């Protein structure tokens, strides 16, 4: 189980939702898929997660977070930012329009396209 900050859309995120874990930068894209298993609540990160905090503002601080479980690890075969940008129906993903943030909306139609890509990657990984 991991924690994720909820800095935007706190009233729209709840247990049972799917989270797409995005790596930013040159090699940006979707690197994992998680299931949100709690509603947003004020918590501190676990001791195991402390090493991942680069910003001391957030390290060991009580902040609004959700608990999540990674369901699909795409580290070895991520869905890249370039692939997403070049996919019909995904040109206007909110993360492309406003890259500064922690949480980004994905519409139902965008999710269907992304889910097909995730399913394809997972099927390919199962055969290797």
d(Cα 44, Cα 16) in Å, to the nearest integer?
A: 21
DSSP state, residue 77: S
pLDDT of residue 33: 95
Q: For residue 94, which of 25, 15, 2, 22 has the smallest C-alpha distance?
A: 22
- Specify the pTM: 0.84
Tokens 């099927």 found at: 123
Tokens standing for residue 107: 């519409």
pLDDT means over runs of 10, the chain (128 residues): 87 95 90 96 80 66 91 93 94 85 90 95 76
> End-to-end CA distance of the chain, in Å?
27
pLDDT of residue 102: 82
CATH hierarchy code of domain 2-126: 3.10.590
Tokens standing for residue 41: 């609540």
pLDDT of residue 58: 61
pLDDT of residue 53: 65
54 burial via Cβ count (<10 Å: 0-12, 13-18, 19+): exposed
């Amino acid at each position: 189980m991991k924690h994720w900050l909820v800095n935007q859309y706190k009233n729209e995120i709840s247990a049972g939702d799917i989270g797409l874990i995005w790596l930013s930068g040159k090699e940006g894209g979707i690197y994992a898929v998680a299931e949100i298993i709690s509603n947003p609540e004020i918590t501190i990160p676990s001791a195991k997660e402390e090493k991942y905090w680069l910003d001391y503002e957030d390290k060991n601080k009580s902040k609004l977070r959700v608990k999540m479980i990674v369901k699909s690890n795409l580290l070895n075969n991520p869905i890249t930012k370039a692939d997403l940008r070049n996919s019909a129906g995904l040109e206007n993903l909110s993360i492309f329009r406003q890259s500064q943030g922690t949480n980004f909306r994905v519409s139902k139609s965008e999710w269907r396209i992304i889910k097909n890509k995730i399913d394809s990657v997972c099927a390919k990984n199962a055969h290797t």
